[in-house]
Each structure stands twice: as C-alpha cells, then as structure tokens.
Amino acid sequence: MSKIKVDLPTLILLSAFSFMLATALHEHAGHALACYSLGGRIKELGAFYVDCNYESLSNMGNRLVALAGPLMSLITGVLGMALIDRASKSNSQLRYFLWHFATVNLMIAAGYVLFSGIAGIGDLGTGQYGAFYQVQPEWIYRVGLAVLGLASYYWVIRISIRKMDAFIGGEGVERVNRAQMLSLVSYLTGGLVAVLIGLLNPYGLVIVLVSSVASSMGGTSGLAWMMQLLDRKKNTGDTPFTMERSWGWIVSSAAFLLAYTLVFGPTIYFK
C-alpha cells in the first residue's frame, strides 16, 4: 500500500477551525449582525445561537434576521469555492481549508432549507422565529422547501466532489480512500468540537442536540460518505495530495478555537 503523508494534528485542527469559523459567520456575521443593523436588541450571543429580542423588530425585520444566517453561509460558501482554484497547488493546507470551509458553509445553507421544510422549524421555518412565519398554505411551502433543500444538498455534494477531484491526485481506489479519510476525519472533528463547545451553554443538552449536533453531525453529514461517489477507475496522473505538518495552522487554529470557546461557549448576556 502506498504511504502518503497526511499530518493528522494539522488536519484535525484545520478542520475544527474551518467548522467553527463557518458557525461563527452564520451566527454572528449573519443573525447577530442583521439584528443589530436593523435596530434590534441582542439579548444573548452563544457559540451556536443568537437571541435577538423578537419584540424589538418589525415582522419583516425578524424574518430578515432569520434569513441572514443561511444567506451568510451561502455567500461564504460560494466565495470559498471560487477561491479554491486560485490557491497555490503547493499550499495543500490552504487548498484543503478552502475546500472544507466552502463545503461546510454550503451544506449548512442547503441543510437549513431541507430541515426547515421537513420539520417546519429553524431559520427558514414557519415558527415564530422563522423567515416564513405563518406562511400559508404551510404544507405546500414545506413540501416545496424540502424538495428544494434535497436538490440543493445534492448539488453541494456534486460540486464539492468535483473540486476535491481536481486536487486529490493519485489513482483508482487509493485516491477514493484517501479522499474519504480526509473528509471523514474532518466530519468527526467538526461534530466532536461542536458537542464539546456546545456543552458549555447554560441551557443544557437541549441546545447541544438542537443546535450543536443538528448543525454539525446532521447538516454536514455528507462529509461522512460522499467521497465514495468519486470515480474509482480514474487515474489522474497527478501527484497524490499530501498535507505536511504546519505549526502556523495548528497554533492559529487552536488560538481561535480557545478564544471562541471561552467567549461564546458560556454565552454573552446583554441587558
């Protein structure tokens, strides 16, 4: 078996940083910034949730705040995908970070569409804090949203696989197994970090299950299996993708994770 170097500490810290950055942008650059910009009053800022005072905004304002999170995830995901091909082929850490960051953001955006359609809750749901609160007829909207979410999630998987196919290199089954290993480690890392940080919230397991686990293990579940869709017979002729140890990525990722955990894990309260 060919021994291809992938440094696990670098891969794990890079993946954790990417996932939590995507979460931070969704919650704080999306929901929280929209709430503040529209004149709303922020009551709480957590690692996986933002509490914008419902009564401080108009009906339309609340809808826009709910929509802002998935919209931010969509925008950052598209930008990340556009930047992958611009990254230097010699900088494997950056290329993988951009791929993972873009994929996670797009999966979160598409996942919310699917989840809100099926469950009727969430950012795009018909509940009080959803972007489509009291929309009628609700069942038609939810069926349409579920279908759109499923199609969107499939599209995300296809474009993510195409981007991975362009830089993974190698031949046949080996390249598929290598891509699967990278993607699966990233998925498990994101889920573990989300649960550990989520446990610091003051509301107990409810937030962990609804926000941390749902957005990580559920929303990005495609990372666990989608690389099996790569062409097993393809021989690229390119050098297999490797990832050397990078102390720069390890230290900066750990610093961000520590800061985010300490600041937002226990939740910030505003009077």
Rounded mean pLDDT of 85-96?
92
Residue 2, pLDDT score: 47
- Of the listed ranges 117-121, 145-149, 224-228, the least confidently predicted one is 117-121
Assess whether pLDDT exceeds 90 at residue 214. Answer: no
Share of the chain above pLDDT 70, in %: 99
Give this prediction's pTM. 0.94
Q: 248-266 pLDDT, tens per residue?
A: 999 999 999 999 999 999 9
Q: What are phi and psi of 256, to 5 degrees?
A: -65, -45
Question: How many residues would you count in the chain?
Answer: 271
Look over the chain and give the mean of its residue pLDDT values, rounded to a whole number. Answer: 93
Rounded mean pLDDT of 48-70?
93
Q: What DSSP string runs through 226-248?
A: GGGGS-TT-B--SPPP-B---HH
CB of 57 closer than 8 Å to CB of 35: yes
- Of the listed ranges 58-62, 118-122, 186-190, 253-257, the least confidently predicted one is 118-122
Band (pLDDT 50/70/90 cuts) for residue 193 is very high
**Residue 200 has which token pair?**
């610091």
Assess whether pLDDT exceeds 50 at residue 177. Answer: yes
Domain ranges of the chain: 8-269
- Of the listed ranges 45-59, 150-164, 174-188, 200-214, the least confidently predicted one is 200-214
Rounded mean pLDDT of 177-190?
96
Rounded mean pLDDT of 200-213?
81
Residue 83, pLDDT score: 96
- Is residue 102 packed enough to be buried (19+ CB in 10 Å), middle (13-18) or exposed (0-12)? buried
Residue 3, pLDDT score: 61
Residue 1, pLDDT score: 40
Rounded mean pLDDT of 243-251?
96
Residue 25, pLDDT score: 97
Q: Which residues have CB under 8 Å from 197's CB, separation 6+?
A: 20, 47, 48, 212, 260, 261, 265
